[in-house]
Chains A and B, each alone.
Chain A
């Protein structure tokens, strides 16, 4: 189909996207400054921009701390999730023994663990990390389990005929590589949930007076500095986006070349 010549430049990469974002920002600015007219109810983009500037000194340390909490939780969640998922996927007995417990634990929202996180781990980085762990572990566990369960029998047979004896070597050379896309997809979901948990746990002060979530709630909200609050919301969102992109890039370009698009959105 032929398009009108005048609209042709729109096809170039990024143009439409920039127009989309700018439109939203302009409407937001107009609504904020001509209709709402109260920073408390709706800070304008202009004010938010300045808020970034005024809080610029605490942003890096807050990001660092939150990423630390996230890293602790995701690291533990990945390690334990893959191990348990593999055990449950590999051994019927373990599966039957653990399944009911896992189903119940999984149904409890991670946020509900914040009190125990604080009581068990005190106000350390580990306690926010623990909440992230609870949030991230289940998607990773379940996906690993699914991957282990769905290995095509033909690959197992092929490996056996080529000399792979039962057990560890079969898991290492067939089941694990087969399950990698599943594990990656689970990890990606776990990362999304884990990042929400970081913010929530920090809001409750699970790790003391640190982190993006803590400042957002206990400083900006408590003091009604809504412009700064919005600035932090944007930071939190951008980091989530960035984490996801980096993960996808890493996984798809390096480990999963053989199965393009498997972990794509």
Chain B
């Protein structure tokens, strides 16, 4: 198994009161194993929808999503997800949240605790194991969510604007931690973001989406060696390219309205 993910002409429409509303249109994409792919696009263009389809929480209206040669038929712990909104179980402590997936797997108490503690340490929250989510800040909550998603050791990690609710400083730190985790655990990461800076700093490849109904307008390989410097010339060039693509997209959207 090399965990290759392939989307073939994926379309998604929602049934609403005003009839069918297109959210995604004809998305075709191959994500290589161990790739760090960022997805960027205007608000409401269907980024969350796309991740939910890959996670198996929802189904495409047409087209197919293939993982390891098999069609995705529902959620599975081989695809972890970090949600855009806070999703920690408020009735569980940090430790118990991270242990959740392992409990479902039927792992024994002691092994479970050890593994969970390892991931809590990995996201830099050692010492907070027995806190409840309401005692944590927004950024800490997202880190627990990341630890929880990592604990079941999924081959693919789907991250939906995980750093959207933290300040710039913390965000930079979290980005670095994430790259570190990615290097160490060798996962495929699909990372949704609003931020061009974030995409250029993190990604091997950036997929740019159009406004609703979302389709892919461009996939851009960011071939800058890591560690990247946030202010280097190459980074700036990519940033400009992406900004231009997005602003073109925005004006197009305005015309079509």
Contact = CB atoms under 8 A, between A and B. Distances in A.
Given A154-B87, A160-B75, A163-B105, 5 more contacts: A158-B83, A160-B57, A161-B75, A173-B100, A177-B92
Given A161-B57, A257-B132, A258-B134, A155 B89 contact: yes
A87 interface: no
A223 interface: no
Interface of A: 154-155, 157-164, 169, 173-174, 177-178, 180, 257-259
A147 to B, nearest CB: 12
B90 A258 contact: yes
A173 to B, nearest CB: 7
B104 interface: yes
Contact of A161 (B80, B86, B91): B80
Contact of B104 (A164, A180, A257): A164
B152 interface: yes
B81 interface: yes
Nearest to A170: B104
Given A154-B85, A173-B103, A257-B132, A162 B91 contact: no
> Which of A159, A164, A178, A258 has most chain B Cβ within 10 Å?
A258
Contacts of B75: 157, 160-161, 163
A259 B80 CA distance: 27
14 contacts: A155-B87, A157-B52, A157-B81, A159-B104, A160-B56, A160-B74, A161-B77, A177-B89, A178-B91, A257-B132, A258-B90, A258-B92, A258-B133, A259-B91
Interface of B is mostly: loop
Interface in B56-110: 56-57, 74-77, 79-81, 83, 85-92, 100-101, 103-105
B153 to A, nearest CB: 11
A155 B75 CA distance: 14
A97 B92 CA distance: 35
B55 interface: yes
A163 B89 contact: no
B141 interface: no
B91 A258 contact: yes
B89 A158 contact: yes
Nearest to B79: A161
B104 A162 contact: yes
B143 interface: no
A153 to B, nearest CB: 10
B87 A162 contact: no
B148 interface: yes
Contacts of A173: 100, 103-104
A29 to B, nearest CB: 49
